Chains A and B, each alone.
Chain A
Amino acid sequence: MARMKFLCDAERCIECNGCVTACKNEHEVPWGVNRRRVITLGDGEIGEKSISVACMHCTDAPCAAVCPVDCFYTTDEGIVLHDKDLCIGCGYCFYACPFGAPQYPQQDAFGVRGKMDKCTFCAGGPVADNSPEETEKYGRNRIAEGKLPLCAEMCSTKALIAGDGDMVSDIYRERILKRGGRPQTWGWETAYNKTS
């Protein structure tokens, strides 16, 4: 069984925000919610580095550990999903997440945030695959169609790679061997360190 992972190659990412746009368009994510974002350190300076960040689908997911209603679950492929019908919008997963992945559609006077939304690795949610309900709540389910996440598919420089962890590692290893230098598997230590 595959173990799905994301990897962003900082030597290739050019901060085009194509992944962000692809994701927003594919899943019709509400205004103000972004499941994926690109962060640039030293923006505009020589040697600037960019990374595309979303839910990394951690092995020992902190969001799932702190959720007061236990609405998270991990699929057989290692994808961390959540049930919006159970979510109470408390915000704890956002406090715990290392990557800032959880997003909330609102923030009103008494701290009500609405149901949490985050990257699903294009795998939808707990309802029937690609049913209108799933599409509305969680976005498209590309995994059910045998496709990989659209952000990685559309990445113009192939900096963002998504798929089975072993295959992702092989692609990245090949790159490192060709261009030299040490590997920088950003976020992997945090997300997959425990058992992988």
Chain B
Amino acid sequence: MIKEHSKMQTKGRGRLRAMTWSVLFIVISAMVLPTASYLISSDTAFAQVSNDENQRANFWRAVRQGAVGYSAVSGVESGVFINNGGQNWRQMRNGIIATYGGWSVIGAPISILVFYLIRGKIRVGAKKSGLTVPRWQTWERIMHWYTAVLFVILAITGLSLLFGRVVLIPVLGAKGFSLWASLSINTHNVVGPFFSIGVFAMLLFWIKNNIPNATDIKWLTSGGGIIGNTHSSAGKANGGEKIWYWIVILVGLLAVCGTGLALIGWVAQWGIGDSTRATMQYMYQIHAIAAIIWIIVFFGHVYIGTIGTEGVLQGMITGRVSTEWAKQHHDLWYEDVKDQAEQVQSNLPSGTETHNLTN
């Protein structure tokens, strides 16, 4: 009995071994055998034959890949058979940019409103002395408001061109919106270069205020007074203002103004790049995405500059801020200008928000 049992066991083990090896053989063969075709394809004769056989296919393949031929008709890229980037551009513009961009532009002010309801206005803590210090020179304020007004014009006209078909045609009708869109595109194209000059002036004249330093990191890590109630040290520009400045320069000047000037054909006229459809498609995408980012951050800037923080707007309107405000928000800078503190009567009509200045 015992002997027979062990015999059966060895027999079973033998079968198991045979089965394992067979399965292994099949699996390895299945993987290795198909690769044998590489041995054949590496043969040069094979490659030559395929070229001879498929001359016409090669021709159409070249056309599909954007080959340029000769055309007696002169015009922009008249020798190009197929504009391959068109469908990608369409899907980017109508899909990703319009969808995510649209909801972001709607979502940003709503989030800011929610934030305002939770956080409330950041007020000047100290008691009012009536003393003010100069913060923005006249030319700085002119530069700021010139750029700001043009920004708003460009944002409204630009958003109209991207979202008008969905949002404004149901309101204005096809004819009415066409008139508005025509006005929008012409305004956008003419105002754009003048706006770019304003942003470029900011790059030149405000860069000295906005070089990042160690104070900014401390300012940012402590929440900058926006979150929480601590007020970290800051020079003339705090960490947040410097971030906004560099967004204006990098996203705004480079990605929006630069591509905008390319889209109206100026950059190509200066001898940089070209005005082919591929270039325009890329420029359009960068322009639209960066502009939407800029608009969203702009909402934040407007919030902090108006209802978000007491006393900021007065600085950019009258040029002077209260010493208490300066001490609270820009203590390091206040040390530089405190000897210029004076009792200054505001030029603003009384009753508005002048208490911010004089209190």
Q: Is the CB of B280 within 8 A of A91?
A: yes
Query: With A41-B62, A69-B177 in contact, do A97 and B75 touch (Cβ < 8 Å)?
Result: no
B7 at interface by CB-CB < 8 Å:
no
Q: Is the CB of A96 within 8 A of B90?
A: yes
Which single residue of chain B is at the shortest CB-CB distance from A47?
Answer: B55
A67 at interface by CB-CB < 8 Å:
yes
B60 at interface by CB-CB < 8 Å:
yes
The DSSP consensus for interface residues of chain A is: loop
Stretch of B39-47, B80-88, B220-228 that contacts chain A = B80-88
Q: Is the CB of A111 within 8 A of B71?
A: no
Contacts of A37 in B (CB 8 A): 71-73, 75, 78
Stretch of A98-106, A149-157, A163-171 that contacts chain B = A98-106
Stretch of B133-141, B180-188, B300-308, B351-359 that contacts chain A = B180-188
B295 at interface by CB-CB < 8 Å:
no
A63–B264 Cα distance when bound, in Å, is: 20
B3 at interface by CB-CB < 8 Å:
no
A70–B67 Cα distance when bound, in Å, is: 31
Task: Write the B155-193 contact mask toward A (1 if CB under 8 angstroms, else 0).
Answer: 000000110110001000011011001100110011001
A145 at interface by CB-CB < 8 Å:
no
Q: Is the CB of B90 within 8 A of A69?
A: no
A91–B265 Cα distance when bound, in Å, is: 12
Contacts of B205 in A (CB 8 A): none
Contacts of A97 in B (CB 8 A): 83, 86
B200 at interface by CB-CB < 8 Å:
no
With both chains docked as a complex, state the minimum distance between the C-beta of A40 and any C-beta of chain B, in angstroms.
Answer: 5
Q: Is the CB of B82 within 8 A of A69?
A: no
B70 at interface by CB-CB < 8 Å:
yes
Which single residue of chain B is at the shortest CB-CB distance from A49?
Answer: B59
B93 at interface by CB-CB < 8 Å:
yes
B77 at interface by CB-CB < 8 Å:
yes
A190 at interface by CB-CB < 8 Å:
yes
Task: Write the A104-121 contact mask toward B (1 if CB under 8 angstroms, else 0).
Answer: 000100111000000000
A17–B71 Cα distance when bound, in Å, is: 9
Task: Write the A19-33 contact mask toward B (1 if CB under 8 angstroms, else 0).
Answer: 010000000000010
Contacts of A91 in B (CB 8 A): 280
Q: Is the CB of A110 within 8 A of B186?
A: yes
A196–B263 Cα distance when bound, in Å, is: 34
A10–B17 Cα distance when bound, in Å, is: 64
Q: Is the CB of A86 within 8 A of B90?
A: no
The B-contacting residues of A in range 36-60, CB under 8 angstroms, are 37-43, 47, 49, 51, 53
B289 at interface by CB-CB < 8 Å:
no
With both chains docked as a complex, state the minimum distance between the C-beta of B303 and any C-beta of chain A, in angstroms.
Answer: 30
Contacts of A69 in B (CB 8 A): 164-165, 169, 174, 177-178, 181
B244 at interface by CB-CB < 8 Å:
no
A128 at interface by CB-CB < 8 Å:
no
Name the residue in B55, B185, B189 with the highest tally of chain A Cβ atoms < 10 Å from its Cβ. Answer: B185
Q: Is the CB of A66 within 8 A of B94?
A: yes
Contacts of B165 in A (CB 8 A): 67-70
A94 at interface by CB-CB < 8 Å:
yes
Q: Is the CB of B82 within 8 A of A99?
A: yes
Q: Is the CB of B59 within 8 A of A41?
A: yes
The B-contacting residues of A in range 55-95, CB under 8 angstroms, are 62, 65-71, 85-92, 94-95
Task: Write the B270-281 contact mask toward A (1 if CB under 8 angstroms, else 0).
Answer: 000000010011
Q: Which of A42, A62, A85 contacts B178 (CB 8 A)?
A: A85
A152–B179 Cα distance when bound, in Å, is: 37
With both chains docked as a complex, state the minimum distance between the C-beta of B173 and any C-beta of chain A, in angstroms.
Answer: 10
Contacts of A99 in B (CB 8 A): 82-83
Q: Is the CB of B186 within 8 A of A40?
A: no
Task: Write the B50-72 contact mask toward A (1 if CB under 8 angstroms, else 0).
Answer: 00000110011011000101111
Interface residues of B (CB under 8 A from A): 55-56, 59-60, 62-63, 67, 69-73, 75-84, 86-87, 89-90, 93-94, 161-162, 164-165, 169, 174-175, 177-178, 181-182, 185-186, 189-190, 193, 263-265, 277, 280-281, 284
Q: Shortest 8 CB-CB distances between A and B: which pairs?
A: A111-B264, A37-B73, A43-B70, A41-B69, A86-B178, A39-B69, A88-B182, A110-B189
What are 9 pairs between A and B in contact, CB < 8 Å? A41-B81, A42-B59, A51-B81, A62-B90, A65-B94, A68-B165, A89-B185, A90-B185, A110-B189
Q: A103-B75, A187-B82 are in contact. List 8 more A-B contacts (CB 8 A).
A: A37-B71, A66-B94, A95-B83, A95-B89, A97-B83, A98-B84, A111-B189, A111-B264
